[in-house]
Structure 1
Amino acid sequence: MGAIAAGAAASQATVFLTGGLLVLCMGLWATGLIAEVVTALMFFALAMLLKLASPQTIFSGFASQAFWLVTSGMVVGLAINRTGLGQRLARALADQLPNSYPGFVAGLIAFSFLLAFVMPSNLGRIALMVPVLLAICDAYGLTPGRPGRTGAILAFGVATPILSAALLPANVPNLVMAGTAETLYGLHLTYLPYLWLHAPVLAVLKGAILTVCVVLLFRDRIGSERPPMEPLPPISADERRLAVILAIMLGLWVTDGIHHIPPAWVGLAAAVVVMLPKVGVLPGDAFSQIQLKTCFYIAAIFGLTAIVNESGLGREIGRALLAVAPFEVGASAKNFATLVAISVGFLFATTTNGAPALYTALAQDFSQASGLDLMSVVMIQVVGYANVFLPYQAPPIVMTMDLGRVSLADTTRLTLVFGTATLLIAAPCAFLWFRLLGRLP
Structure 2
Amino acid sequence: MSHWFSHPLFLPTLIILITITLWATSALPEYLTALLFFAIATVAKIAPAAVIFSGFASSAFWLVFSGFVLGIAIRKTGLADRAARMISANLTDSWVRMVGSVVLLSYALAFVMPSNMGRIALLMPIVAAMAKRSGIVDGSRAWFGLALAVGFGTFQLSATILPANVPNLVMSGAAEGSYSIHLNYLPYLWLHTPVLGILKGLILIGLICWLFPGKPHAAEKIDQPGPMSRDEKRLAWLLAAVLMLWMSESLHGIGPAWVGLVAACITLLPRVGFITSEEFASGVNVRTCFYVAGILALASTVTETGLGSVVGEKLLAVMPLDAGRPFTSFVALTGITSLLNFIVTANGVPALYTSLAASFSQATGFPLLSVIMVQVLGYSTPLLPYMASPIVVAMALGKVPAKAGLKLCLALALVTFAVLMPLDYGWFRLTGKL
CA RMSD of aligned residues (A): 4.6
CA distance in 2, matches of 1:163, 1:62: 26
CA distance in 2, matches of 1:398, 1:14: 37
Counterpart in the other structure of 2:284: 290
**Conserved? CA contact 1:391–1:397, under 8 Å:** no
Matched letter for residue 129 of structure 2:
V
CA distance in 1, matches of 2:63, 2:76: 20
Counterpart in the other structure of 2:310: 316
Counterpart in the other structure of 1:158: 148
Deviation per residue, 1:98-156 (Å, 9 max, x gap) = 64454343223323445674983587568635653543443xxx899xxxx85x54542
CA distance in 2, matches of 1:378, 1:389: 21
Please state whether the residue corresponding to 1:422 is helix, strand or coil. Answer: helix
**Conserved? CA contact 1:61–1:301, under 8 Å:** yes
CA distance in 2, matches of 1:215, 1:44: 39
Deviation per residue, 1:207-254 (Å, 9 max, x gap) = 22233445567788888x775475544322222222222223222333
CA distance in 1, matches of 2:413, 2:4: 43
**Conserved? CA contact 2:34–2:294, under 8 Å:** yes
Cα deviation, residue 279, structure 1: 5.1
CA change 1:418–1:90 in 2 (3 A) is same
Written as runs of structure 1 = structure 2, the 5 A alignment for 1:127-276 is: 128=125, 131-138=128-135, 150=141, 152-153=142-143, 155-165=145-155, 166-167=157-158, 174-175=165-166, 178=169, 201-214=195-208, 228=221, 231-276=224-269
1:30 and 2:24 correspond: yes
Counterpart in the other structure of 2:82: 88
* Range 428-437 or range 84-93, more displaced: 428-437
Counterpart in the other structure of 1:67: 61
CA distance in 2, matches of 1:64, 1:184: 21
Deviation per residue, 1:314-367 (Å, 9 max, x gap) = 2221121111122346976554432322333456x56xx935435643431244
**Conserved? CA contact 2:107–2:153, under 8 Å:** yes
Counterpart in the other structure of 1:6: none
Counterpart in the other structure of 1:370: 361
**Conserved? CA contact 2:67–2:122, under 8 Å:** no
Counterpart in the other structure of 1:387: 381
Counterpart in the other structure of 1:354: 345
**Conserved? CA contact 1:101–1:222, under 8 Å:** yes
CA distance in 1, matches of 2:214, 2:51: 53
TM-score, with length taken from structure 2 = 0.74
CA distance in 1, matches of 2:375, 2:13: 22
**Conserved? CA contact 1:192–1:257, under 8 Å:** no
Counterpart in the other structure of 1:78: 72
Please state whether the residue corresponding to 2:71 is helix, strand or coil. Answer: helix
**Conserved? CA contact 1:108–1:155, under 8 Å:** no
CA change 1:57–1:218 in 2 (3 A) is closer
Unaligned runs of 5+ in 1: 1-8
CA distance in 1, matches of 2:290, 2:405: 28
**Conserved? CA contact 2:12–2:46, under 8 Å:** yes
2:33 to 28, 35, 39: 39
Matched letter for residue 162 of structure 1:
F
CA distance in 2, matches of 1:292, 1:228: 38
Please state whether the residue corresponding to 1:282 is helix, strand or coil. Answer: coil
* Range 105-114 or range 188-197, more displaced: 188-197
Cα deviation, residue 90, structure 1: 1.7
**Conserved? CA contact 1:74–1:124, under 8 Å:** yes
Matched letter for residue 364 of structure 1:
S
CA change 1:387–1:51 in 2 (3 A) is closer
CA distance in 1, matches of 2:79, 2:375: 35
CA distance in 1, matches of 2:48, 2:308: 17
Unaligned runs of 5+ in 2: none
Matched letter for residue 125 of structure 2:
L
**Number of aligned pairs?**
416
**Conserved? CA contact 1:155–1:211, under 8 Å:** no
CA distance in 1, matches of 2:219, 2:252: 48
Q: Equivalent pairs: percent with the same residue? A: 33
* Range 227-236 or range 291-300, more displaced: 227-236
CA change 1:76–1:96 in 2 (3 A) is same
